[in-house]
Structure 1
Amino acid sequence: MRLAEEGMLCSLCRKRAVISQRYLGRQLCQDHFVRDFEGRMVQSIERSRMIEEGERIAVAVSGGKDSTALLFALARVFAGREVELVAVTVDEGIAGYRDDTILAAERIARQLGIEQVIVSFREEYGYDLDEMVVGSEVAPCTHCGVFRKSSLNRAAKRLGAAKLATGHNQDDEAQSVMMNYLKGDMERLMRFRPRREQPGLVPRIKPLRDLPEKEIALYAILNGIYFESRECPYAQLALRADVRDMMNRMESLFPGTRQRTLRGFERIEALYKEGWGQMELAECRECGEPCVGERCKACELLGRLRG
């Protein structure tokens, strides 16, 4: 995806184009792009039956462009329908980074008239992320991922949400698939499949999974909701940063690489559907949250922090 060049016309109406979707072989004007964006999100939702009438949906809203665009788009497409949205924002406790994005999350929730709940690592676990990683042999992104997932699940349950929507986009999903290819981790790879519901675990949905990150940014810009946040200071310490750079380069050279990566995984998933059964989850003996085994990863990490 790239912004349309001067003089480039929309493939559908011949107005000035704002985007060139090389992987689809077309250019779109602002009106057609916004409609196409929301239409593709709805197709993803309907194809996987992510949201049903009468449900309360918790939306993870960090204040970044993806989650902001997700909340805005969901509010638009479900306006007037029997679907209730509530925004959940997690404050991990990252000095000089999270404060600004929390303000952005509060602003979009207020603009849309949507209830917002803020939960913090300190309130839930007794530590900020910055404190957790000092002297730890565990990578910062591991701490963040484990405690963030747990915080969101706990909050969604307290709110009585039927589903938890996250702003994962096509780039995120393709990167995750590629990371697990590189690690040879089929067990983790197959966790990307749609899962049946399990007690204590609020089902996660990803309405933006088929939309590229740059198109999400453009959608936010065109709707006046874009907030340019700084990158997390811990991001460059993760394998994902290198995989992201590799995938971006491949997408530039061969448009559609990310889309084909996801479609290829879906074919693998279909072939091994019966061979990789879903694990039954137990209750953590310490906190009662769903886990594999007797103790969840969050309690395991907390045990190390407390010595």
Structure 2
Amino acid sequence: MTIKCKKCSTPSIIYQPYSGLHLCEKHFYEDLERKAKLTLRQRYPIKKNDVIAVALSGGKDSSVALLLMHKIFGNRPDIRIVAITIDEGIAGYRDESIARAKELTERLGVEHIVKSFRDEYGKTMDDITSEKKLLENHFGDDKKELGACSYCGVLRKKILNVVARDIGATKLVIGHNLDDEAQTVMLNHFRGDVERMVRFSAASELDGFIVRVKPLRKVPEKEIALYAYLHDLPMELTSCPHSFGALRKEVRRMLNGFEVNHPGTKYSLVRGFDNMVPLLAAGLEVSDIRNCEICGEPCNDSICQACKMLEKSI
């Protein structure tokens, strides 16, 4: 028996347990794009003459984020869109994803910049993981070494911010989806780091930091994957070889289980977090922004986290 779209008589291609809707391809596109546009309008309004940098890894999330930015703003002559790809130097993984990223930017006619860990730090992510055994630091215990994902994330974010600032970007779009946001909320709770919670939610510019825009933060990962597939986007689907054992994977499995049994759990978690953050921020004295004594980049300590990590990896 064919199930019809809730909004028309066309056969549906997806069922959303959290909304109870069956949607056809046309209305699925409209639903996803509506969520992204609403998020942009409410949290990250795009202004005249904005320069939008898009962090493009070559995976499904960042590829869909770039496609949406191009669809929504690509015809505006006052808006410049630039894709930025970071080559961490991960053999058998990053080369393929960079190729997919280049293919997409060429298809869309979007300017594309590629920067590498080797050029910026003098070493690749493979070098860092082979120099020293890295243990997962789940709860900030200084006696333990940070895991590979922690190193990679911090070092990548630093380059993205530097490149975005250098090209005059006013917004830095990242492809975090609903699943990513819900997982990060739980991880911040596990760490008990209230200041990190407030910084994570920031939607305004801080000195030296480009505003991070998350148009997909209210879109489930599975829906992004379907949207990318239906648009035949070139994207790399293999997993990073250094990601095994990360705490995020455990949180991911836990939240997916809750979502199956209680549809809408991830939305509720993110919505509750959004409502809670203003209350936390009002009673929290956030660290002042200063310049790193080693690299000069903005941070909330005398030495930025990236430089601290690079010293540990020597």
Shorter-chain TM range is over 0.9
Of 41, 53, 68 in structure 2, the residue corresponding to residue 73 of structure 1 is: 68
Q: Give per-residue Cα distances to partners, 1:252-290, cap 9 Å, x unaligned.
A: 111101000111112221332311244321011111100
Task: Report if aligned partners of 1:45, 1:51 keep a CA contact under 8 Å in 2.
Answer: yes
In structure 1, the residue matched to 2:238 is 230
Alpha-carbon deviation of 1:233?
Answer: 1.3
Residues 109-137 of structure 1: CA distance to partner in whole angstroms, max 9, x if unpaired?
A: 00000010000000000000011122143
Verify the 8 A CA contact 2:205 2:211 in the aligned structure 1. yes
Q: Mark the CA change 1:263 to 1:232 in structure 2 (over 3 Å): closer, same or farther.
A: same
* Cα contact 1:217–1:226 (8 A) shared by 2: no
Kindly state the Cα deviation for residue 13 of structure 1 after the two structures are TM-superposed.
Answer: 0.7
Letter matched to residue 34 of structure 2: G
Determine if contact 1:195/1:278 at 8 Å carries over to the other structure.
no
* 1:255 equivalent in structure 2: 263
Residues 82-121 of structure 1 mapped to structure 2, 5 A cutoff: 82-121=78-117
1:191 aligns with 2:199: yes
CA distance in 2 between counterparts of 1:218 and 1:247 reads 20
Q: Report matched runs for 1:136-285 at 5 Å.
A: 136=133, 137-225=145-233, 227-285=235-293
Identity over the aligned pairs, expressed in percent? 42
Residue 25 of structure 2 is matched in structure 1 by 30
Could you tell me which runs of 5 or more consecutive residues in structure 1 were left unpaired when the two chains were aligned: 1-5
RMSD: 1.4
Alpha carbons 2:203, 2:212 under 8 Å: kept: no
Q: Which residue of 2 aligns with 1:300?
A: 308
Find runs of 4+ consecutive structure 1 residues off by over 3 angstroms.
none
TM-score after normalising by structure 1: 0.94
Cα deviation, residue 301, structure 1: 1.9
TM-score normalized by structure 2? 0.92
CA distance in 2, matches of 1:39, 1:149: 28
Verify the 8 A CA contact 1:100 1:229 in the aligned structure 2.
no
Q: Is residue 17 from structure 1 mapped to residue 25 from structure 2 by the alignment?
A: no
- Equivalent-residue separation in structure 1 for 2:236 and 2:4 (angstroms): 28
- CA shift digits 1:183-238 (9 cap, x unpaired): 33323222222254222211111111111101111111111115351111122221
Distance in 1 (alpha carbons) for counterparts of 2:285 and 2:16: 38
CA contact (8 A) 1:60 1:87 kept: yes
Q: May I ask how many residue pairs the two structures share in their alignment?
A: 301
Q: Distance in 2 between matches of 1:142 and 1:192?
A: 15
Contact residue 187 and residue 251 of structure 2 kept, 8 A: yes
Query: What SS does the corresponding residue of 1:63 show, helix, strand or coil?
Result: coil
Matched, 1:51 2:46: yes
CA distance in 1, matches of 2:6, 2:86: 41
Aligned residue for 1:131?
Answer: 127
Deviation for aligned residue 1:294? 1.3
Contact 1:108 1:225 in 2 (8 A): yes
Instruction: Using the TM superposition, name which of 46-55 and 181-190 deviates more.
Output: 181-190
The secondary structure found in structure 2 opposite 1:204 is strand
SS in structure 1 of the partner of residue 268 of structure 2 = helix
Structure 2 distance, partners of 1:279, 1:48, is 23
Which deviates further from its counterpart, 114-123 or 192-201?
A: 192-201
Q: Secondary structure at the match of 1:242?
A: helix
Return closer, same or farther for 1:37/1:197 CA change in 2, 3 Å cut-off: same
| Residue of structure 2 aligned with 1:64, choices 56, 59, 67 | 59
